[in-house]
Structure 1
Amino acid sequence: MAALIGAFLVQAPATAHSTSSSAGTYRGEGDSLVRIPVTTKPSIVKITHQGEGHFAVWTLKPSGDKQDLVANTVGDHKGTSAFNTRSGGKVRALSVTADGVWTLQVLPITSARSWAVNAKGAGADVIRLAKPSTGLRRLTIRHSGEGHFAVWALSNDGRLKHLLVNKVGDYRGSVALPPGSRYATITADGAWSITRK
C-alpha cells in the first residue's frame, strides 16, 4: 500500500497539450500555445470547444503581444472568426485558455462560407460575397441573443471597412452595405440572419 501511495505521489500531473493533426488544423485540451506559420494576410479560424469554464483564444504577434481576441465565452463554443483584418498585422501563434477539448482550423479568408442573398447562423461567423458589392445595397439584420452583437463589413482584400451594427441583446434593423464590401464578420451569442437587397 505504501508503495502504491508513493508511486501516486511522484506521478507527474496531467498537462495541457496540443497537436497538429493536419495542415492548419490543431487539437488540444486545456491551456495551450499553438504556433502557426507567420502570416500577415487576413485569415479565419474555425473554433470548437467542449468545456464548462472560461474559453478564450487570442492571436499573438511574433513578439508575443496579443493582437485579436477571436473567442471569449464560457462553456461550449463553436464559431468562425477573422483575424489580421487590420493592415500591418502579423500573427505567429494562437493562445488558448480552456478547461476542455478544443480544435482550431486556420484558413485563408477566401475560405469563408458563401453569402449570396440570405445568410443565417448562430454565434460567430464570417461570410463571403462572390464579388465586392456595388451601388446602394441594404442589409436587413436580425439577432436573438443576450450578449454582444456586432457586424463588420470587410473589403475585397479582407480588411476592416465599416462597423455596421454594435449592440447588446436582440437586434432588428436595416443598414447600408458600403460599396466594395466583400466579407462580413459576425460576433453573436444567439441566432442571426442577414438579407442583402
Structure 2
Amino acid sequence: MRSPRIFALLTVLASTALLTPPAQAVTTAQTSAATTYRGEGDRLLRVRATAKPGIVKITHDGEGYFSVWSLNPSGKEDDLLANQVGPYKGTAAFNTGASNRTAAFSIKADGAWTLQVLPLTKARSWSITSRGTGDDVLRLSSTSRGLRSLKVRHSGDGYFSVWTLDANGRIHNLVASKVGTYAGTVSLPPGTRYASVKANGAWSIVRR
C-alpha cells in the first residue's frame, strides 16, 4: 500500500504535466520575429509602443495615393515610411531617431495593403554590389571601419536618398540626396551598419 506522502507527490506531478504546454508550442511563440497586418483602405493600426528600431515590409495594390506614417504615443507623425501614387512594394526603417517611439501606423490607401514588422537585423544583407528598385534597407555583416567609399546610382525621376544608420539603428549620415537620376561616389562613414534607401526607380550601391 502506498503511503499518503507518495500518493500526494504523484498527484502534484500529474497536475503539473497537464498544465505545462508542449515545448514545441512555447518555442514557436518565442521565436516568431515577424508580425504581419493586412487590410484595405485607410486604417489606424495600433501596435505595442516601442522605441526599438525596426523595419516594415510594405505592399499596396491600389491605384490612388498611398502612404504609411509611424505615430508616437501622442498621435504625432514620426516617420514617413511609404509615399507613392499607385502600387507600392518596399521596405522602410522606423524608430531611427533617438526620440522616436512608435505606437501606431497611419495608413492611407485605396486598395489592399500588407505591413510586415520585423527587427532591424532582418534587413536585406548588404553585399559588395547591392541593387534594387524602390525603398529598401540594407544590413552589413559588421560595422564599417576605416576609409571606404560607395558608388551610388539611381535611375528614377522622383526623390532619392541614402541614409546610413549606426549599429543601434540610429540615423548616422545622409550620403546621397537628389530628385531624379543620380550618379556619384561618396564616403562610407565609419560606424555604419545599415543603409536606408528611398527611391522610386532602380538603384545600385557598390562598396569599395
What is the TM-score of this pair, normalised by structure 2? 0.83
1:147 equivalenced with 2:158 (yes/no): yes
Q: Partner amino acid for 1:94?
A: F
Q: Partner amino acid for 1:113?
A: R
Q: Partner amino acid for 1:89?
A: N
In 1, Cα distance between equivalents of 2:35 and 2:49: 12
Alpha-carbon shift at residue 92 of structure 1 (Å): 0.5
Report the equivalent of 2:139.
128
Distance of aligned partners of 1:122 and 1:23 in 2 relative to their CA distance in 1, 3 Å threshold: closer
Alpha-carbon shift at residue 35 of structure 1 (Å): 1.1
Q: Percent identity?
A: 58
1:26 equivalenced with 2:37 (yes/no): yes
1:85 equivalenced with 2:96 (yes/no): yes
In 1, Cα distance between equivalents of 2:180 and 2:122: 29
In 1, Cα distance between equivalents of 2:56 and 2:75: 19
1:37 equivalenced with 2:38 (yes/no): no
Structure with the bigger percentage of strand: 1
In 1, Cα distance between equivalents of 2:78 and 2:99: 11
Report the equivalent of 1:166.
177
Query: Gaps spanning 5+ residues in structure 1: where?
Result: 1-21
In 2, Cα distance between equivalents of 1:91 and 1:149: 24
Larger Rg: 2
Aligned-pair Cα RMSD in Å: 1.0
In 2, Cα distance between equivalents of 1:98 and 1:142: 30
In 1, Cα distance between equivalents of 2:169 and 2:128: 19
Query: Where do 1:42-121 residues align within 5 Å?
Result: 42-121=53-132
Distance of aligned partners of 1:129 and 1:86 in 2 relative to their CA distance in 1, 3 Å threshold: same
Alpha-carbon shift at residue 24 of structure 1 (Å): 1.3
Report the equivalent of 1:3.
none
Q: Which of 162, 170, 183 is the equivalent residue of 2:194?
A: 183
In 2, Cα distance between equivalents of 1:38 and 1:159: 18
Alpha-carbon shift at residue 116 of structure 1 (Å): 2.4
In 1, Cα distance between equivalents of 2:86 and 2:116: 19
Distance of aligned partners of 1:176 and 1:79 in 2 relative to their CA distance in 1, 3 Å threshold: same
Q: Partner amino acid for 1:75?
A: G
Distance of aligned partners of 1:149 and 1:23 in 2 relative to their CA distance in 1, 3 Å threshold: closer
Distance of aligned partners of 1:23 and 1:114 in 2 relative to their CA distance in 1, 3 Å threshold: closer
Query: Gaps spanning 5+ residues in structure 2: where?
Result: 1-32
In 2, Cα distance between equivalents of 1:179 and 1:159: 14
In 2, Cα distance between equivalents of 1:23 and 1:62: 22
In 2, Cα distance between equivalents of 1:130 and 1:39: 25
Structure with the bigger percentage of helix: 2
Alpha-carbon shift at residue 37 of structure 1 (Å): 1.5
Alpha-carbon shift at residue 63 of structure 1 (Å): 1.1
> After superposition, what is the alpha-carbon deviation per residue over 1:144-176, rounded to whole angstroms, capped at 9, x for unaligned?
010000000100110000000010111111000
Aligned length: 176
- Which segments of structure 1 move beyond 3 Å, counting only runs of 4 or more? none
Alpha-carbon shift at residue 89 of structure 1 (Å): 1.1
